[in-house]
Structure 1
Amino acid sequence: MTVKISQTESVQQFLKEASGQLNDAGSPRVKTLIHRILKDTVKIIDDLNVTPEEFWKAVNYFNELGARQEAGLLVAGVGLEHYLDLVMDAEDEEAGKTGGTPRTIEGPLYVAGAPLSKNEARLDDGADAGTVLFMKGQVKDLDGKPVANAIVDVWHANTGGTYSYFDPAQSEFNLRRRIETDAEGNYRFRSIVPSGYGCPPDGPTQKLLDQLGRHGQRPAHIHFFISAPGHRHLTTQINLSGEQYLYDDFAYATRDELVAEIRFSEDQVVARSYGVEGRFAEIDFDFAVQSTAQAAEQSRMERVRALED
């Protein structure tokens, strides 16, 4: 099409009307956002000669995305969730709020209200015959001082690459716990080694990634929220060393400082000291959190999460 009408005065006025710019009701912020989205969308339609068939295919894609509840997966896969981290990193650097364990994406699979334990916990329910994992570490401030009574909120996938709550075959809060650190900032837990996983192969996210010539695989990883009074909330995850997709994570969550060495062992003397037999794995990982007096920085950002009020 040679006629480009998106920038004409009549269309620009129409977009103001459609986005509520010409009335006094509603939310000014929402109006601003929708107006910008409409302006950019019609410009894309014009500039790239989007056909009606392509337009309605995109509309149907959004319907599929919602029906499969994959919107959170898609924003990770096309890098938008990682981009939010880059924006916050840049803001922190400009404000001089640097140092400590880096943030990385939360993902869409957190569930609020996991059981709270003192100092240590067992995450798995024993139903998954995966390799037993023992993980421990310390929460510290930027001066290396221990942060007592911090909450280590941890969740990860099973050996099939699925998460409890979203996988009804798993027990309630399986592989999810909150652990309060001791006086020296220590935490530890027993679990199983998680598996990496991919997007559902028949889902809309993978269908789009196929069109982009990209895979939808993630390395094995473990998610964390770290929080404590007087300290900035940290949203992060560790990726396990030796994984095939460690530096090719479709969700762009890998950061060098967040690669955790996992050690597999057959040492039965050590195994018995843990109260287990056979092969097991160990991870040691410390978290360093920034101090803050701002209450808003001590809590995780607002977003819709499962079971969260």
Structure 2
Amino acid sequence: MTVTISQTAEIQNFFKEAAGFGNDQGNPRFKQIVLRILQDTAKLIEDLQISDDEFWKAVDYLNRMGSGQEAGLLVAGLGVEHFLDLLQDAKDEQLGLTGGTPRTIEGPLYVAGAPLSEGEARMDDGTDPGTQMFLHGRVLDAAGQPLAGAVVDLWHANTNGTYSYFDGSQSEYNLRRRIVTDAEGRYRARSIVPSGYGCPPSGTTQEVLNQLGRHGQRPAHIHFFISAPGHRHLTTQINLSGDKYLWDDFAYATRDGLIGEVKFIEDAAAAQARGLNGRFAEVEFDFQLQQAKAPTAEQRSQRPRALQA
């Protein structure tokens, strides 16, 4: 037997009261959002005949997800973060804002305040035995001209697939740097080839993915914030070629135009010229920014992010 009461005037008025519509205090926008959450939750419970046991298991899940700080991982894994990119793409297209390097998800592992360098930087602290990687490229404007003074803020995982700050075994800001482009719009970074990673096997995100019959693996990738005066801020990442999960990224971050081609170089003379004894890798990737139509477009979102002490 299906019983529905959520659309009755009595219940709708009850939800409005719960959402604070009976007073003139608080935040009107927040009240509107909470009311919609209450209405949609009630309709979901009725339409799918959610049992009490299912409901309270969901509440328990939210408690455990919060304590494990996996909310950012879950919204990526369920494709919600990618949906936000697709929605913004559609808004841009409607406004005629096209061209430039594609955006893609930020992910939950950015840390603000990385060391700032002019033109080039070494990102690794020398303790990871991974293959040395030389990453370089240019930042260009909409007309393809180099942008001097652009800030390339980049971060990536180590060979174990973990990130500094979230992995206490790594040094402060390991594999995290900000580089100001030179007069030719170039940036250069020496680092190590990162590894992909998976969701914590016993974590709450993988718990959901298991119920969906999905894996929780990401390909090797490098995150970027690119910014320059007069240009739209770009949040993006490049997924590295040759990875098993390149086009099977659980976070749906791989997009056309965002594949970083990794060239492994075995030449001893070339290695010696770079002060190395063996094999190394090169990745070249250019970024093209759109012109900012308003000053606010130059700034990244106000999404809360970790700040290293």
Fold equivalence (TM over 0.5): yes
Give the Cα–Cα distance (whole angstroms) in 1 for the partners of residues 198 and 166 of structure 2: 15
Deviations 1:65-90 (A, max 9, x none): 01100000000000000111011111
Give the Cα–Cα distance (whole angstroms) in 2 for the partners of residues 135 and 173 of structure 1: 18
Alignment partner of 1:155 is 2:158: no
Give the Cα–Cα distance (whole angstroms) in 2 for the partners of residues 308 and 30 of structure 1: 30
SS at structure 2 position matched to 1:257: coil
Unaligned runs of 5+ in 2: none
Task: Measure how far apart 1:308 and its partner are.
Answer: 7.8
Task: Measure how far apart 1:22 and its partner are.
Answer: 2.1
Give the Cα–Cα distance (whole angstroms) in 1 for the partners of residues 294 and 49 of structure 2: 49
Amino acid at match of 2:129: A
Deviations 1:278-301 (A, max 9, x none): 111100100000112521111111
Deviations 1:136-186 (A, max 9, x none): 100001211000000000000000000000100000000000000000100
Map of 2:177 onto structure 1: 177
Amino acid at match of 1:201: P
Give the Cα–Cα distance (whole angstroms) in 2 for the partners of residues 292 and 245 of structure 1: 34
Query: Is this contact kept in 1: 2:2–2:46, CA < 8 A?
Result: no
Map of 2:223 onto structure 1: 223
Query: Is this contact kept in 1: 2:150–2:185, CA < 8 A?
Result: yes
Give the Cα–Cα distance (whole angstroms) in 2 for the partners of residues 140 and 10 of structure 1: 59
Amino acid at match of 1:41: T
Alignment partner of 1:61 is 2:61: yes
Amino acid at match of 2:109: L
SS at structure 2 position matched to 1:256: coil
Aligned ranges 1:247-286 → 2 under 5 Å: 247-286=247-286
Alignment partner of 1:20 is 2:38: no
Aligned length: 309
Give the Cα–Cα distance (whole angstroms) in 2 for the partners of residues 179 and 303 of structure 1: 22
Give the Cα–Cα distance (whole angstroms) in 2 for the partners of residues 24 and 85 of structure 1: 35
Counting aligned pairs with the same residue, the percent is 66
Give the Cα–Cα distance (whole angstroms) in 1 for the partners of residues 21 and 252 of structure 2: 37
Map of 2:75 onto structure 1: 75
Task: Measure how far apart 1:62 and its partner are.
Answer: 0.4
Give the Cα–Cα distance (whole angstroms) in 1 for the partners of residues 175 and 268 of structure 2: 25
TM-score (norm 2): 0.98
Map of 1:209 onto structure 2: 209
Give the Cα–Cα distance (whole angstroms) in 2 for the partners of residues 3 and 40 of structure 1: 16
Give the Cα–Cα distance (whole angstroms) in 1 for the partners of residues 45 and 14 of structure 2: 16
Map of 2:140 onto structure 1: 140
Amino acid at match of 1:55: F
SS at structure 2 position matched to 1:283: strand
Map of 1:38 onto structure 2: 38
TM-score (norm 1): 0.98
Unaligned runs of 5+ in 1: none
Task: Measure how far apart 1:2 and its partner are.
Answer: 1.9
Task: Measure how far apart 1:15 and its partner are.
Answer: 0.7
User: Over aligned residue pairs, what C-alpha RMSD do you find?
Assistant: 1.1
